[in-house]
Structures are given as C-alpha cells and as structure tokens.
C-alpha cells in the first residue's frame, strides 16, 4: 500500500467572524491511499488556535504517517493519539479504500438519497445588520433550527437581536441555539444565561472557556438555560478523564467534532460516556471540505439522532470539492445522481 498527502487551502466566499477572529482561509490536507487498483481518500483538517494538533510539526507527522502506513490503522491510531485530525483522516481513508465507492463510507438510506439529516442554519458573527440578514435568509431557506454565534459584539446588541427574532418567530416556529465560544467570564456568565433564558433558547454552547470544570459544573447546575460542551472536549484523550469531565460538569449536551476529538473512535467514546450519564449530544463539522463533511454526515446518520446536527458548512467556500451533498429546506441530502469532482493531483 502507498500513502501520500496533498494540501488544499479552502477560501471563504465571505470572511467569517468567530470569537477567535475573522476567517478568510482554512488549510486542510488529504491522505490518499493506493492499493492495487483501488484508492482511498480521507481529510485531515485543523482549526488554527483551536485544534490540539495545530503544531509546527503537523506536516512532519503527516509525512511520518504516510511513510509508516504499513503499520495498519489500529497501530497508527494509537501512535497518533495527539493528532486527532490525522486519526480522523486515516479512518476515512481506510474505509474509503475498502468501499465499493470511495466516497460511500457508511451505506445507508442517506447515501441512497431516500433520507435526509435535519441540520441547523449557522449565523456568523458580525455587525447587527449582517447578522439579522443572515437569520432572515436561513428562515427563508426553510431552516427550523438556527445557531447563532455570539460574543464578538456587545452582549446588549446580541440580546436585542435575538429578542427581535423571537418576537417575530415563536419557540414553536424556530429553535434558536447560541454558541458563545467561551466568551463569558465565570463571574458574569450566570447573569447572562438568566437573561438569555427569557428568549426560550434551546441551549448555549461553551459559555465560559474550557478547563474551568468547577465553574462550568456550577453553571450547568444553576443555569435556567441548557448548556452544551464543545471546546471542553478538545485535547482529552484518556477515557477516564473523559468520564471525569462529564460526571463533574454534568452538562445537558455535548457537541462532537470528529476532526477535533479523535475521529469516529474518539467521538464514539464520548457518546458512550454521555449516554451512561444521561447527557444528550449532536454532531458538528469543523469547517472541513466536502470530503470530511461527507464522512461526518454519513457516520452521523448511522447514530439515528433526531436532533438537528451542525452539518451545513459545505457552501462556505469558493473552491470546495464538488459533491452530492445538498442543503434543502433545512436538511442535508445526498444526491447520488451527482458525481464527485476530486482531483488531488491539481494541488500542491
């Protein structure tokens, strides 16, 4: 078996605001396996400043992985414990290599095109007018669940914006989720959560920065608004530590990004622990190209979760890989009449 990798820089159609700054581009790498006349493809994507494997030696580790592909998936996953995005890329590539169609990793009614996955519409941070415009666009496009990133502009403006949306659309019309990306301080978080709870929101992701377990546990206990852990899961590889985090904090939800938490295997460990502790979950992509998004979506469908998932990021880029993934009326569909257009040889 031969393994190579190719880098691809994804370009945002419009600079996208997060609590960590404005994103204009995103780097990703594809691992390509070749064995006899078959090819397997997987995506390794990191988010700068967020991924635990955002380190200077990242490409060196990719090279090492390709040079040692003979070790096999099980051994490589153990060796790459500190590189969750490479673990995830390898899982995809090996599944792809064994598949009848290299992009059909988990055959199901989803890949047959007969079932779809409900997803949330994502509203990026920005000026009030821009955020309001995005919200109305998502509603017009048929989304019944909207996720809004908060924490970039002042809290009063964000609250006013959410309040105006809630006045127009009731809880039964639109489910509203917010993501603070750790923007609140432990001192003021509870007051803000109480104010936000007046708007009948579904939940808030990561109200305070990760690693503050006692403070987060207190918030989960006292908050009238459900809390979902996101960044809290990143960089935690030991099963015992995962259990301790869930049992200590006791959140209402956890959010799984396979590129950030160790692929399917790492995500399934979190899901098992969450279920044992009566914690629910949903899955979110981490701004992968359509190659990684496709893998996450197919796997997510097999989980049989009824909640809207965070998988609507395929249309963000000007130079994404053409794929059968389509968003229609707030759902992600797999149109198997559409061909993939994956040509790694054109990239450096």
Which are the catalytic amino acids?
149, 257
Pairing of strands 253-256, 280-283: parallel
CA–CA distance, 137 with 123 (Å, rounded to integer): 10
Residues whose CB is less than 8 angstroms from the CB of residue 14 and which lie 6 or more positions away in sequence, other chains included: none
Going through 49-168 in order, the beta strands assigned E by DSSP cover 117-118, 121-123, 145-149
First-to-last C-alpha distance (Å) of the chain: 22
Structure tokens at 162: 């959410």
Cα diameter, the chain: 61
Mark out the alpha helices in 149-304 (DSSP H runs): 155-168, 189-197, 213-222, 239-249, 258-261, 263-276, 290-303
CA–CA distance, 294 with 296 (Å, rounded to integer): 6
Pairing of strands 325-328, 331-334: antiparallel
- Cα angle, residue 305 at apex, residues 304 and 307 outer, rounded to 5°: 150
DSSP 320: P
Closest CA to 245 of 231, 255, 233: 233
- Cα angle, residue 124 at apex, residues 118 and 126 outer, rounded to 5°: 160
Number of Cβ within 10 Å of residue 87's Cβ equals 30
């Amino acid at each position: 078996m031969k393994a190579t990798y190719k880098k691809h820089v994804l370009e945002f159609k419009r600079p996208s605001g997060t609590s960590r700054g404005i994103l204009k581009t995103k780097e990703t790498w594809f691992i390509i396996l070749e064995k006899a006349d078959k090819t397997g493809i997987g995506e390794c994507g990191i988010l700068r400043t967020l991924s635990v494997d955002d380190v200077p030696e990242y490409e060196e580790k990719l090279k090492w992985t390709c040079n040692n592909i003979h070790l096999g998936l099980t051994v490589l996953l153990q060796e790459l414990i500190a590189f969750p995005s490479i673990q995830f890329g390898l899982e995809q590539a090996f599944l792809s290599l064994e598949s009848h169609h290299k992009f059909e990793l988990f055959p199901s009614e989803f890949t047959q095109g007969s079932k779809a996955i409900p997803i949330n519409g994502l509203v990026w941070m920005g000026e009030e007018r821009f955020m309001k415009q995005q919200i109305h666009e998502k509603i017009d496009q048929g989304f019944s669940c909207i996720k809004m990133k908060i924490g970039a502009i002042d809290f009063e403006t964000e609250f006013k914006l959410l309040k105006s949306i809630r006045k127009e659309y009731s809880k039964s019309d639109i489910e509203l989720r917010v993501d603070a990306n750790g923007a609140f301080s432990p001192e003021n978080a509870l007051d803000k959560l109480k104010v936000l709870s007046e708007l009948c929101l579904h939940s808030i992701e990561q109200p305070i920065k990760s690693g503050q377990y006692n403070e987060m546990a207190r918030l989960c206990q006292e908050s009238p608004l459900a809390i979902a852990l996101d960044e809290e899961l990143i960089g935690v590889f030991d099963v015992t530590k995962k259990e301790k985090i869930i049992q200590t904090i006791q959140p209402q939800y956890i959010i799984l990004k396979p590129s950030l938490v160790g692929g399917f295997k790492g995500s399934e460990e979190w899901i098992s622990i969450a279920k044992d502790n009566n914690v629910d979950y949903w899955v979110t992509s981490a701004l992968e190209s359509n190659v990684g998004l496709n893998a996450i979506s197919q796997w997510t469908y097999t989980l049989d979760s009824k909640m809207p998932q965070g998988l609507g990021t395929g249309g963000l880029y000007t130079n994404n890989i053409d794929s059968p993934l389509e968003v229609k009326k707030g759902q992600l569909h797999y149109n198997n009449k559409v061909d993939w257009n994956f040509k790694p040889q054109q990239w450096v």
